[in-house]
Amino acid sequence: MQIRLVKKADIGTRRQTLIFLAAIFLALFTTGLFILFLGLNPIRVYISMINGAFGSAYRLEQTFVNAIPLIITSLGIAIAFRMKFWNIGAEGQIIMGAFFASYVALNHSDLSRPVLLSIMFLAGFIGGAIWGFIPAFFKAKWGTNETIITLMMNYVALKWIIYLQFGPWKDPSALGFPKIPNFAENAILPKLFGLHIGWIIALILVVLVYIFMNRSKKGFEIAVIGESINTARYAGINIFRTIILAMVLSGGICGIVGMIQTSGVNLTLSKEITGGVGYTAIITAWLGALKPHWIVLVSVLFAALIQGSSYIQSAFGLSAASAQLFQAIILFFVLGSEFFARYKVIFDWKSLSKAKEDRE
């Protein structure tokens, strides 16, 4: 018997939806067994998770606070992934965006709020764009492995922030605690409807990235390179410039997240600024099929899962590891559904029969 994987030529929306729903059901069933093992009622736990994510104005706000960086980072990653440039460096790009924005905030706090925030926004984009440009240049010029370079650059960026936090940017008034000074009031993002305006930035970027990827010439060229680089060359597309452009945009958008997190959430720069968003966004971008509108939905649901899991820790006295295991089980089945939606497993029994006949 031979087992073969065949990629499906056409993935119907109905079939993909059914597979996804089946994966969710299996995930909830499996997680329910684990919850029973802990001596808890699965239905009560699931209801509490929903309540923890959406049950009050504050919880809903926290869900969207978690969703905003996920949405924007996923958009940045989607641009690179559409070109099959595997940008695993969103963490570093977020950090460098945060660093550039923080430099402006800490050294030019005398500026008016609109001017200062605008410069911080631009600085955040530039910081992430520079960190995206470096691996793009090496890839376009010498064909280096972008996965390794972008991943390694995450650690370089992190160590740089640790150096600043324990060294030249250390707050002298923090009584020896390794902390960078908090931002001035005019360097903090204002709120609208109880939530910092990062959500408006996220929605604007969703529209802009959608138009760029689906309605612009450069977006089309990025998609062509992703499908076949030889076809792109034959069509006269400038491979070098397109790779650079895609990664400058990808890194720059991730850098904006750094600005938003420092100015809207943490109110300072620290080595914990990303919270692992750069890695989580790889999952949400992929589950969103690299499409901006689906990325929004997936990111909000994933943020709700994170917030709900955090809530049940205190509600049921669960350990952090148990709550994280719930997330892992659900992700395992959802990601697995992508495989079965895109590929068909064929068991070739004829080859087994033929092999038996040959032996006889």
The string of pLDDT tens digits covering residues 63-81 is 999 999 999 999 999 999 9
What pLDDT, on a 0 to 100 scale, did the predictor assign at position 236? Answer: 95
pLDDT recorded at residue 242 = 98
Query: What pLDDT is attached to residue 276?
Result: 92
CA-to-CA distance for 223 and 209, rounded, in angstroms?
13
Label residue 358 by pLDDT band (50, 70, 90): low
Q: Domain of residue 191: give its range.
A: 67-287
**Distance between CA atoms of 331 and 64, rounded to whole angstroms?**
20
Whether 18 is covered by a domain: the verdict is: no
Q: Is residue 10 very low, low, confident or very high in pLDDT (cuts 50, 70, 90)? A: low
Instruction: Give residue-wise pLDDT tens across range 123-182.
Output: 999 999 999 999 999 999 999 999 999 999 999 999 999 999 999 999 998 888 899 999
Name residues whose C-beta falls within 8 Å of residue 96's C-beta, 6 or more positions apart in sequence: 127, 128, 130, 131, 157, 255, 258
Number of domains, the chain: 1
Q: Which residues, in sequence order, are bridge partners of residue 5?
A: 345
- Asked, for residue 326, whether it belongs to a domain, the answer is no
Residue 275 lies in a domain: yes
Q: Is residue 32 part of a domain?
A: no
Q: Is residue 130 situated within a structural domain?
A: yes
Paired with 2 in beta bridges are 348
Per-residue pLDDT, 18? 84
Distances (CA, A) of 72 to 19, 25, 105: 27, 29, 21
- Position 6 scores a pLDDT of 72
Within a domain: residue 16? no
Q: Is residue 77 part of a domain?
A: yes
- Write the pLDDT tens digit of every residue in 240-250: 999 999 999 99
Q: Is residue 89 part of a domain?
A: yes
Radius of gyration of the chain (CA): 23
Query: Is the entire prediction scored with pTM above 0.85?
Result: yes
